[in-house]
Amino acid sequence: MADSTLVFIVLGLTLAAFVWGRFRYDLVALSALLGSVMLGLVPGEEAFMGFGHPAVITVAAVLVLSRAFEHSGVVDVIAEQVLKVGERLFLQLAALTGTVVVLSGFMNNVGALALLLPVAMRLAREHDTSPSLLLMPLAFGSLLGGLTTLIGTPPNIIIASYRSSVTGEAFGMFSFSPVGVAVAMAGLAFILLIGWRLVPQRAGKASTEAMFDTAHYLVELRVSDASKANGLTLHELQQELEETIPVLAVVRDEKRRAGHTFFGVLREGDILLMEAGPEEMKLLEDKVGLSLGKEAEDEEKEDEEKEGEVREGEEKEAEPPTSVDTEGLQLLEAVVRTDSMMVNHTVTQLRLHNQFGLHLVAVARDGGRLKQRLHDIRFRPGDVLLLQGGESELAESLATLGCLPLAKRNFNLGQPRRLLVSLGIFAAAILAILLGVLPAAVALSSAALVSLLVGVLPLREGYQAIDGPVIVLLGAMIPVGQALETSGGAALIAETMLTWGSEWPAIVTLVGLFVLSMVLSNIVNNAAAALLMAPIAASLARGFDASLDPFLMAVAVSASCAFLTPIGHQSNTLVMGPGGFSFSDYWKLGLPLSLVVLVVAIPMILLVWPL
C-alpha cells in the first residue's frame, strides 16, 4: 500500500477520533504519531522531534507570559475600566469584545477570554443582562484578536515556522497584522452592529439563583437521638447513604460551621443544612433517620393547611422549604475547561472533598441545572459547577482541577512595580524579534524565564500555565503533518484541487483552500488544522507557480476562525455552559461572521501578499 494511502487512513481515523470526542485530543494526536512510526511513515529517530519544534516552544512561552500578565495585574487594570461602562448593552459589548480583541493579539486568546469571562458575568448580573448576549461575542472576539500578531494564536506560529522550513525565513511579529487587523475590525464591527442580535437569548441565567435554583433545594435536617446519623462523621454519613448529598453546614448550639470544615461526629440536636430534593430527603430519612427540623415542619404544616386538601387519588409532591439562610456559605461558580482533569470523571472518582476540600453542590449544563444524582454526573467541558470550599483553598484547588472561577474578581491593583516589570520584559522580547536580534522562540522563552527569575510569576504557576494537552497535540501532529507532505499525500490533494479548478483563476482555488481550512478548524483543534493544511497550501502554490505567502496566509486566517461549533476552539467551549448555549446556537452568529471574514480576508491577502 502506498505511503500516501496509509497517511490518509491515519489522518481519517485521527479526524474521526477528534470529532467523536471520546478521547482527549492530545491522546488522539499521540496515537496518530505512534501509529505513523509503526507504519514507517515517520522515522523512529524523528518521532519526538516535534516537541522541540520552535512552534511548540513559542506556544509554551506565550502561555507563561500570558499568566505573568494576569499575575502582575496588567489585565486587572483593564478589566476594572471595563466594569465602568454602564448599563447600555452596546457599550458593554464594545468594551468587552474590543478589549478581548486587543488582549488576544498579545497573549494566548483562551487566556484573554478566561480573564474577561468573570467580568462579563459580573456585568450581566449587575445590569440584569442575559449573559449569552455578552459571552458569544466575547468568545468570537478572542478568536478575531488572535489573527493580528504572530503570538496571538498557535496557527500563526505554526504557519510562520512552516514558512521558515520552506523558504528559510519566517513571518515576522507583525507580518499578520495588515490582514489580521482588517479582518478583526470588520468582524468586531459586524458583531457590535448586527451580529449580537443573532445570538440566542438565554434569559434569567446570569445569577447563581437563576441557573441553579439553589434555594428550592436547601433544607434543614435535624439529628435526633434515634437517628442512625447520630455519632457518625460526615464522611461516614456519605458512605452510609451511598450517595453524594452535600452537607453545606452543621448548626450546633446556634453556631454554624461550613460542611467542608466539620470533621467531628454528629450528635443529637445538630441541624444539617443540605442540598436535597424530595427524593434525597426520603433517602436521608429512610437510611440515616434525618428529618426536617421542628420549625421547618411547622412551616410546612401551615402551608399544607392553607393549600387545603389534595384531590382524591392525586399524590402531592414534597416541596422542601425555601427560607434557608445561606449567608457565609462561600458558594462559588466555576466552569470546567476543555483541558480539565475533571472531564469524563465523576465526583466520586475525583474525591473532591478528600483531595481538594471542595463540596460539589450542583451542576448546570446548557444553562440549566442537572437534576440527576451528583455522583452519577460525568463532567463535560463547559459545565458550570456550584462549589463550596474554604476561601484560601479555592483558587489553588480550581487551578489544579482545571476550572475557571466565575465569581467576582478581586482586582490586584496595588503592585505597580511588578506590573511595569512585566510590561518591560514583554516589550524587550518584542523589540528583539522586530530587530531580528533573536528568533521568536528564543526571545519569548527568554522573556518567560526572566519573568520567573525576577518573581513576576511564581515558578509553580509558570509550569501550571503551560497547557500540556496543547503542547502534546502540537509535538505529536508536527511529524504527522510532515508525513503528509513527504509521502506525497499533500501533493495528491493539491493536484485534485488544481484539476477541479484548472479552468478557474488561482483566486478561486485560494477561496476553496480558505473554506476547506475553516471547515476543518470547526471540527478539530485549530493548531491541528493549520498543521495539516500548510503542506497542502504549499503544494497548491507550486502547482500554480505562484507565491507561497498568500496561500499560507489563507490557512493562518481560516484556521483561527472556528465560529460554527463549540468544539472548534476552547474559547467557544468555555462560554457554552455559562451562556446556556446548545451546539446548534453557534452557527447562527458564526456562519454570517465566517462569511464576513472570508469577504474581507481574501481581498486583503491578495493586496498585501499578491499571487
The one-letter amino acid at 39: L
Those residues whose C-beta lies under 8 Å from the C-beta of residue 226, and which sit 6 or more positions away, are 289
Which band of pLDDT confidence, cut at 50, 70 and 90, is reported for residue 317? Answer: very low
Alpha carbons 287 and 294: distance in angstroms, whole number: 20
Q: Contact 9/491 with Cβ under 8 angstroms?
A: no
pLDDT at 114 over 50: yes
| Model pLDDT, residue 306 | 45
Alpha carbons 33 and 39: distance in angstroms, whole number: 10
Which band of pLDDT confidence, cut at 50, 70 and 90, is reported for residue 417? Answer: low
pTM for this prediction: 0.73
Section 134-146 average pLDDT: 93
| Model pLDDT, residue 251 | 83
Q: What percent of the chain has pLDDT over 90?
A: 19
Q: Contact 206/125 with Cβ under 8 angstroms?
A: yes
| Model pLDDT, residue 592 | 96
Which band of pLDDT confidence, cut at 50, 70 and 90, is reported for residue 212? Answer: low
DSSP 11-30: HHHHHHHHHH-SS-HHHHHH
pLDDT at 193 over 50: yes
Q: What is the pLDDT of residues 458-510, one digit of tens each?
A: 888 888 888 788 888 888 888 888 888 788 887 888 888 777 766 778 888 89
Residue-averaged pLDDT of the chain? 80
Three-state DSSP class for 42? coil
Which band of pLDDT confidence, cut at 50, 70 and 90, is reported for residue 375? Answer: confident
Q: What percent of the chain has pLDDT over 70?
A: 85
List the one residue out of 410, 353, 355 whose CA is nearest residue 387: 353
| Model pLDDT, residue 84 | 80
Poorest-confidence range of 106-110, 142-146, 378-382, 557-561?
Answer: 106-110
pLDDT at 330 over 70: no
| Model pLDDT, residue 319 | 43
List the one residue out of 215, 204, 219 whose CA is nearest residue 331: 215
| Model pLDDT, residue 225 | 82
Burial of 233 (0-12, 13-18, 19+ CB in 10 A): middle
Sheet strands (E) in 131-240: 218-222
| Model pLDDT, residue 601 | 95
| Model pLDDT, residue 551 | 94
| Model pLDDT, residue 72 | 76
Which band of pLDDT confidence, cut at 50, 70 and 90, is reported for residue 7? Answer: confident
Q: In 10 A of CB 230, how many CB atoms?
A: 18
Section 61-84 average pLDDT: 78
Which band of pLDDT confidence, cut at 50, 70 and 90, is reported for residue 393? Answer: low
pLDDT at 603 over 90: yes
DSSP, res 257: E
List the one residue out of 387, 408, 409 whose CA is nearest residue 398: 387
Section 420-431 average pLDDT: 87
Alpha carbons 29 and 485: distance in angstroms, whole number: 17
Which three three-digit cell numbers place residue 229? 446519623
Section 522-543 average pLDDT: 86
Cα angle value 279/283/287 (rounded, 5°): 175
Higher-confidence residue: 510 or 78?
510
Higher-confidence residue: 324 or 351?
351
Q: What is the pLDDT of residues 277-314, one digit of tens each?
A: 666 777 777 888 887 654 444 444 444 444 444 444 44
Section 592-606 average pLDDT: 95
Section 71-94 average pLDDT: 79
| Model pLDDT, residue 300 | 45
Alpha carbons 14 and 223: distance in angstroms, whole number: 55
CA 230, 232, 236, 240: dihedral to nearest 10 degrees? -20
